[in-house]
Structure 1
Amino acid sequence: MRMSVTEAKGQLTELVRRAEAGDEVILTRHGQAAVRLVPVRIRLDAKARRAVLEAARAAGAAKASARPNAARSQDFLYGDDGLPE
């Protein structure tokens, strides 16, 4: 697919999706090819993948435990019988 840079400004998200899916996306300026959008391929070995996953799990666990329990955040509105006060 070829498209001018001016036209691409309003369709960047769709163009990125198409490039990620493997379509060739070429942006032109004054009718001449200027840029080709290509997906970035990052390859991690097993040890690096494990480190990334462990870091994500640790960050998620830290955020989850740092906040108050939402299930009990409105208890002050209700009496011991479970009815609104």
Structure 2
Amino acid sequence: MSQATDPRSNGVDPSRLDEDDLLRELNHLYTTRMDTLRHGSDNAFSEHTRRMNQYEAEYLRRKPAREIDPERLRAGARAR
């Protein structure tokens, strides 16, 4: 059984994923977030949060100069 499918593992290290796989995993985490919050055990929600933080940190490490939408800044919100 591979580390990615072994339920006892902590999953694949996000730094080992290529760009497409990292984005796919992030998308999956965001898709399952509400269901985990509403229906998962405390442990499941905690693990989901831990993994989401790992994947987001890896994305930010790779994209420190990512494009920031001015509408997502405080000044942009005030202008609306």
**Which structure features the higher share of strand residues?**
1
TM-score higher than 0.5 = no
Normalising by the smaller structure, the TM-score range is 0.3 to 0.5
Highest Rg: 1 or 2? 1
Which has the higher relative contact order, 1 or 2, with Cα contacts under 8 A spaced 6 or more apart?
2
